[in-house]
Amino acid sequence: MTTDTTRMRRTPVKSAVVLEREGRPKMVVYVFGAFVRASHWIRNALLIWLVLSGIYIANPFLARVIGSDTSSNFILAQVRGWHVAAGWLLLAFTLGRIYQFLFINREGKLGLGAELRMAPILFDLKAWRDQLKFYLLMSKEHPHLTYSNYGPLQYLVYTALYAALLIISVTGILLAAPYLSSGIAVWSAELLRPIEVAVGGLANVRMLHHVTMWFFILFTLVHIYMAVWNSMRTGNLLVEGIISGFAAKDMPGAREATPEDLDKPAAKAEKEG
Amino acid sequence: MTVAPRQHGLGANHDLDLRTQEHYEWLAAEADKNLDRLEAQDPVNDTTLDEVLKRRGISRRDFLKMSAVMTATLGLPPMFDLRVARAQEVATRIPVIWQELQSCSGNSMALIRNANPGTDELLLDLISLEYAEILMAPSGQAAEDVLAASIEKYDGAYIAVFEGSVPVGDDGNFLTIGPAGETGVEKVEHIAKHAAAVIAAGSCSAYGGIPAARPNPTTAMGVGDFLASRGISKPVVNLPACPVSSTNVVGTILEYAMFGRLPSLDAYGRPLWAYQDRIHDKCERRGHFDAGEFVEGWTDIEGLKEGLCLFKVGCKGPMAYNNCGVVRYNEGASWPIMSGHGCIGCSEPGFWDTLTPFEVPLAGRLYSTPFGTDANADTIGTAVLGAAAAGVAIHAGATAIKAATEKRYEGQEKE
C-alpha cells in the first residue's frame, strides 16, 4: 500500500533497509519473530473457531433430523469437544505469552519482564496526549515512544485482552469440567472452584463466558482497523509485518529523540515511573 | 481414587488413598460404633419402629427393601443395608426442631405429602420432632413453651432444621413469629446457637431463594450466610431445591444418625451424595442433547412427543446440581424433565435471578440497558459492535479527508 511513494536502498546498518517515504527516512527492521507471527495467526484461527462453535453451543441452531446420522454422530458433543480442545490450545499460548511478558527481560533471559517494565507508559500523561492527538487526527506525527514498544492506549487494551483471555479460559474450564470424569479439566476446576463460588454459581460462570466472547469480537474489529489505519497513515508496514516479520521504524537521529532515550530506555522508564 | 470415599470421607485426617473395600469396612465400623452409642442413650421419643411398621401395615421385609433403596441413594454399598435400617430404629434418639422462617412451607408439604409410606415418612414418625409449626397440635404460647423447653432439654444435642430465608432488613421486622412477636433473626440465632447441627431445607433457607430475588425487598439471606454474618459457627448443611426432595432431608438425618456427623459437602454446602452430579448428567434425555436433537419450541409437538432434549426451551440442567432425576418426586413417580418441562435450576445458589429466563437458554438472560428496554447479551453485543463499526467508518472518512487536505497543503508549500 505504500510502494508508490517508497524507495528502498541498502544501508550500512546490518540486516536493515532504509525506506524513504515522502522525505522521511525509516529503517526496516525485523520486529516480529517467527513464533510471534505463527502464534498470532494460530490464535486468530482458534478465536474464530471458538466464537463460531461457542455461538452454536449457546443456542444449537443446526436442524435436527430424528433417526438420521445426527443421532449417531453426536454433533453437539463433537462441536463441544473441539471447542474445548481449541480452548486449551488458546490457554497454552496465553500462558506462554504471559510468562514472556512477566519474566523475559530485554536480553531475552529470565528476569523482570521487559514488557512489564513498560507499564509506566500507562501513567505517562504526555504519551496519552500524544497518542490521542494522533488518533484524533490532530497530529500527523506518530508519537515517538522511547521506553515502551506500546503506546498507553495499546498497553491498556492488550492488558485487558489478556485479562479477558484468562477470564474466558477460567470460566471455560469450570464449564467443561462437569462433562468429564477425570483429567486436567477436573482437577484444575477443583482448584478454580472458589472463583465459581465467588461469582455466584455455574449459571453466572456461563454468562461471564458468554459476555467475554463479545470482548473478543469487538477487539477484533477495532484491532484490524487500527493496524491497517496505522500502517497506512505512518507507512510503518505494520500489517505486512505480522506476515513478513519486518516493519518500518523511525531512523534514530532523524527525529527529536535524544541518544539518551535510545541508549537507556529502562533507566528512563524507572525515572518516570 | 473412587467417588465413594469423597462422598463419605471424613476430611483431611482420613487417608483417602485407602482402597475402596478397606475404606468401607472402616466406615462400617465407624457406623457401628456410633449406632451403639446412640442405642445406649434413652429414646427421647416413645414410638418404636415395630409400632410404626404395624400402624402403617409395612412388613419387616418391605422395611428392609426400603432401607436398601435408601442405602443406594446415599451412595453406600449393600453392606450398609442393615446399618441404615438400624439407623432408623435409633432415630428416636435424635431430637429435631423444625423452624419455619420466610417460607411457603412447601418443603414441609413435600415431606408429609408422600403418596405411599416410604423411608421418608417412616423416619418422620420415628425422629423426635420436638417442634414443627406445620405438624404440631399446640399453637400460640403453648407452642412457644414447647420450643423453649425443647431447646433447654436438648441443649447442644438437637438438629435444627430451618425452612425459608432470614429477612434481615428493618431489624428483622419483616418476619415476626409467635405471641411475643420474636423476629426471624432472633429465632434463628437462638435456635442455631444451641443446636448440634443445622440443616437448611429448601432453596430459600439455603441461599435466600425467591425472597432474595431482585430487588430483595426484605434483604433475605440463606441461613448459612446469616449465621456466618453473625459469627455463629455451627456445621450447616444446605439442602436446596424447591421443594427439597424428602429423600435428601431424610438421608441427611440418617447419615447423621449413622456416622454422628453431617455428610461431606460441596463448595456450596450441599451433601455430595445428593448434589455431586448435575441434572444434565443424570438426565434421561441427555443422549438427545449430545446428538443435537432438541425440542425447538412449545409448538414442536413432534419433538415433545419424541422426548427430545429441552435445552432450547430453557432447560437449566447443565447448570444445576441435584439428584432429582434419580430419586424423583412423589415417591419416584416423576420429575420436571420427565413431565416435559426443562429444569429451572431451583437448587442453585442465586436462584431465581441467575437462572432466569426459564423458557430460553441462559444466553437469553436479560440485562437492563440505559435505553429503558431490557436486552440479552447478544443484542447488546451486536449493538455495541454496530456502534464500533460506525465509529470506524466515521474515523476512516475523517482520515481520508484529513489526508487529502494535508496533501494539498504540502503541495501549496512546494509551490
A145 confidence band (pLDDT: 50, 70, 90):
confident
Residue of chain B with shortest Cα separation from A179: B281
Q: Which residue from A64, A76, A200 is facing B349, i.e. has the nearest CB?
A: A200
Q: Which residue from B308, B349, B406 is facing A201, i.e. has the nearest CB?
A: B349
CA distances from A76 to A57, A70, A79, B294, B316 (A): 7, 9, 5, 11, 17
Asked if pLDDT for residue A4 goes beyond 50, the answer is no
| pLDDT value, residue B414 | 55
Asked if pLDDT for residue B307 goes beyond 50, the answer is yes
pLDDT above 90 covers a percentage of chain A that reads: 42
Contacts of B306 in chain A (CB under 8 A): 66
Asked if pLDDT for residue A17 goes beyond 60, the answer is no
Q: Between chains, do B384 and A218 touch, taking CB under 8 Å as contact?
A: yes
Average pLDDT, chain B: 87
Contacts of A193 in chain B (CB under 8 A): 267
pLDDT tens digit string along B50-84? 888 888 888 889 889 888 988 988 888 899 999 99
Q: Between chains, do A204 and B354 touch, taking CB under 8 Å as contact?
A: yes
Averaged pLDDT, B240-256: 89
Question: How many cross-chain Cβ pairs, A to B, lie less than 8 Å apart?
Answer: 118
Instruction: Answer whether B239's CB lies under 8 Å from B199's CB.
Output: yes
B221, B224, B227, B230: CA torsion to nearest 10: -60
B394 confidence band (pLDDT: 50, 70, 90):
very high
pLDDT tens digit string along B13-47? 444 445 677 888 889 999 999 999 988 887 777 77
Averaged pLDDT, A234-249: 83
| pLDDT value, residue B413 | 60
Instruction: Answer whether A189's CB lies under 8 Å from A180's CB.
Output: no
Q: How far is A221 from chain B (nearest CA, A)?
A: 8
Sequence letter at residue B266: D
Chain B residues 278-297 with a CB less than 8 Å from chain A: 278, 280-281, 289-294, 296
Higher per-residue pLDDT: B264 or B409: B264
A256 confidence band (pLDDT: 50, 70, 90):
very low
Higher per-residue pLDDT: B242 or B115: B242
A12 confidence band (pLDDT: 50, 70, 90):
very low
Averaged pLDDT, B317-328: 91
Averaged pLDDT, B96-115: 85
Higher per-residue pLDDT: B299 or B1: B299
CA-to-CA distance for A200 and B351, rounded, in angstroms?
A: 10
| pLDDT value, residue B7 | 57
Asked if pLDDT for residue B270 goes beyond 80, the answer is yes
pLDDT tens digit string along A209-223? 999 999 999 999 999
A72 confidence band (pLDDT: 50, 70, 90):
low
User: With an 8 Å Cβ cutoff, is B355 touching chain A?
Assistant: yes
pLDDT above 90 covers a percentage of chain B that reads: 50
Averaged pLDDT, A61-85: 80
Contacts of B289 in chain A (CB under 8 A): 76
**Which domains does chain A possess?**
3-272 (1.20.950.20)
- Give residue A26's Cα distance to chain centre: 25
Asked if pLDDT for residue B249 goes beyond 50, the answer is yes
User: With an 8 Å Cβ cutoff, is B317 touching chain A?
Assistant: no
Q: Between chains, do A137 and B319 touch, taking CB under 8 Å as contact?
A: no
Averaged pLDDT, A174-199: 92
CA-to-CA distance for A33 and A244, rounded, in angstroms?
A: 9
- Strands B197-201 and B159-163: what pairing? parallel
Q: Which CATH number fits domain B3-275: 3.30.420.40, 3.40.50.700, 3.65.10.10, 3.20.20.70?
A: 3.40.50.700
Strand partners, B221: B166
| pLDDT value, residue B117 | 58
| pLDDT value, residue A2 | 37
Q: How would DSSP label each residue in chain A? A: --GGGEEEEE-SSTT-EEEEETTEEEEEEE-S-HHHHHHHHHHHHHHHHHHHHHHHHHS--SPP-TTSHHHHHTHHHHHHHHHHHHHHHHHHHHHHHHHHHHHB-TTSSBSS-TTGGGGGGGG-HHHHHHHHHHHTTS-SSPP--SS-SS-HHHHHHHHHHHHHHHHHHHHHHHHHGGG-SSSHHHHHHHHHHHHHHHHTSHHHHHHHHHHHHHHHHHHHHHHHHHHHHHHHHH---HHHHHHHSEEEEEPTTSSS--HHHHH-HHHHHHHH-
Of the residues B286, B310, B319, the best mutation for testing chain A's interface (the one with the most A CB atoms within 10 Å of its CB) is B319
Residue of chain A with shortest Cα separation from B312: A59
Contacts of A73 in chain B (CB under 8 A): 291
Asked if pLDDT for residue B305 goes beyond 60, the answer is yes
Q: Between chains, do B291 and A70 touch, taking CB under 8 Å as contact?
A: yes
pLDDT tens digit string along B184-242? 999 999 999 999 999 999 999 999 999 999 899 999 999 999 999 999 999 999 999 99
| pLDDT value, residue A169 | 96
Question: Burial letters for B129-166: b for 16+ Cβ neighbours within 10 Å, e otherwise?
Answer: bbbbbeeeeeeeeebbebbeebbeebeeebbbbbbbbb
Contacts of A211 in chain B (CB under 8 A): 377, 381
Asked if pLDDT for residue B355 goes beyond 70, the answer is yes
What is the fold of B280-364?
Cytochrome-c3 Hydrogenase; Chain A, domain 2 (4.10.480)
Quick one: DSSP state of residue B280? G
Averaged pLDDT, A154-165: 94
Could you count the other beta carbons within 10 Å of the beta carbon of residue A244? 14
Contacts of B292 in chain A (CB under 8 A): 60, 62, 64, 70, 74-76
Asked if pLDDT for residue A233 goes beyond 90, the answer is no
Contacts of A58 in chain B (CB under 8 A): 361-363
Residue of chain B with shortest Cα separation from A71: B291
Q: How far is A133 from chain B (nearest CA, A)?
A: 13
Q: At CB < 8 Å, which residues of chain A contact B?
A: 58-60, 62, 64, 66, 70-77, 137, 140, 178, 193-194, 196-197, 200-204, 206-207, 210-211, 213-214, 217-218, 221-222, 225, 229, 233
Asked if pLDDT for residue A208 goes beyond 60, the answer is yes
Instruction: Answer whether B36's CB lies under 8 Å from B53's CB.
Output: no
Phi and psi torsions of A137, nearest 5°: 65, 20
Quick one: DSSP state of residue B42? P
The ranges assigned to domains in chain B are 3-275, 280-364, 375-414
| pLDDT value, residue A21 | 54
| pLDDT value, residue A66 | 60
pLDDT tens digit string along B271-293? 999 999 999 999 999 989 998 88
Q: How far is B230 from chain A (nearest CA, A)?
A: 20
| pLDDT value, residue B412 | 65
